[in-house]
Amino acid sequence: MNRKILGLAGIAFSVFVAALGFASSGAAGDTANQEVWQFNQQFKDAHGRMDTNAIIGMWAETGVSLLPEKAPVVGKTAIGGFIREAVARLTGYKMLKVEMTFKDIRTCGDWATEWGIEHQVIQPPDDKPVIDHWGKIALVLHREADGNWRVQQEMWNSTPKPE
């Protein structure tokens, strides 16, 4: 009987937390949503500049990156190493375009979730063909003690070009 009560209490709590998230997910002028929107602009701009330090600085110390066909990358230090290694392999590449359209921003206290579509156009060196890539991204953000939103979890994967 106790397990049943605990289970029902857990479900009730989950519904309550979800309701709080829905309550703040679309309200115009919602401060947390505006802060997340500003974070998204900085996130997009840092990727467009290929600014490794800025990108790493947007991560929480305990962040986790979930990329296709890779083991989870856990912790800001490991994520920073992964990003630096990836950027080092891109010497001579130029980012021609970065578009990120985030959808469904949901905030609940110091937590936020969202998903988006990203589009990158990259010019490799030596007149190689341009890379035109479309992808999906899901983010879980956390507002840290300093008031800044940081990536706690991310997941990226490829997607066909939207119609």
How would you write the pLDDT of the chain (163 residues) with one tens digit per residue?
444 444 433 443 333 333 334 334 444 338 889 999 999 999 999 998 989 999 999 999 999 999 999 999 999 999 999 999 998 998 999 999 999 999 999 999 999 999 999 999 999 999 899 999 999 999 999 999 999 999 999 999 999 998 8
**Residue 159 CA: distances (Å) to CA of 19, 38, 44:** 30, 25, 18
Q: Domain 2-158, what architecture? A: Roll (3.10)
Residue 31 has a pLDDT of 87
Q: How far apart are CA 48 and CA 94, in angstroms?
A: 9
Phi, psi for 85 (deg, rounded to 5): -65, -45
Residue 29 has a pLDDT of 39
Residue 14 has a pLDDT of 36
Residue 146 has a pLDDT of 97
Contact 80, 56 (CB under 8 A): yes
Token representation of residue 115: 């998903």
Beta bridge partners of 107: 112
Residues composing the chain: 163
